[in-house]
Every structure is written in structure tokens, then in C-alpha cells.
Amino acid sequence: MNKLFLLAQQFQLPPGEPIKYSTVNIFLDNTAKFLYTAGITLGVITLVISGIMYFWAKSDIEAKSAKGWFRNGIIGAFIILAVGVIINTIKIIVEGGFFSP
């Protein structure tokens, strides 16, 4: 017989509980909620910091730095929120609710 076939017959799965659908569903839901919360929190903190920096700017260089913080905060919050939306979409597709009539 084939050596690979004999090895496959001898292979045993390790003991333990299999991953259940509900576990994956809960994990995806919690991850999406965490990313929503983190994105909004970091976005607000960055906007507040950039506003304070802009308010206290004494030169054009400092004002440009504050504008950069503002732009980067908006982009970063958008990326984090987009990942949360993607994970939520994957969760809906896994549940079978996205394409069902």
C-alpha cells in the first residue's frame, strides 16, 4: 500500500472540543463591537488632540502638524470602522442571512 495512506490511517486527532458555529459567531460579533468602540474612541481622542494643537499653534508649521493629526485621525478611525464593517459582513454571510430571500 501507499505509505501516505498508511500514515493517514494512523493519524489521530488531538482530544478536545470542536469549534462550534456559535463560538465563531460570538467571536466575530465581539471583535466587530470592539473595533467599533476602539475606532470611535481613538478618532475622538485624536480629533480633540488635533484641535488643542491647532488652537495653541503659534506658527504655520505647528498648524500644519495639527492639520496632519486631524487628517490622520479621520483616516485611522475610518480604517478601523471599515474593518468592523467587514467583520460584521462576514458574520452575516456565515449566518446565511445575506443572500437568503
Using alpha carbons, select from 46, 27, 32, 48 the residue that is nearest to residue 81. 32
Reported confidence tier of residue 7, pLDDT bands at 50, 70, 90 = low
Reported confidence tier of residue 9, pLDDT bands at 50, 70, 90 = low
Residue 25 lies in a domain: no
Cβ contacts of 44 within 8 Å, gap of 6 or more = none
Burial classification of residue 18, based on how many CB atoms lie within 10 Å of its CB (0-12 exposed, 13-18 middle, 19 or more buried): exposed
Helix (H, G, I), strand (E, B) or coil at 95: helix
Residue 24 lies in a domain: no
Residue 84 lies in a domain: yes
Using alpha carbons, select from 75, 96, 77 the residue that is nearest to residue 25. 96
Residue 73 lies in a domain: yes
Structure pTM?
Answer: 0.63
Structure confidence by residue, pLDDT tens digits, 35-73: 888 888 988 999 999 999 999 999 999 999 999 999 998
Helix (H, G, I), strand (E, B) or coil at 80: helix
Total number of domains in the chain: 1
Residue 100 structural domain: 32-101
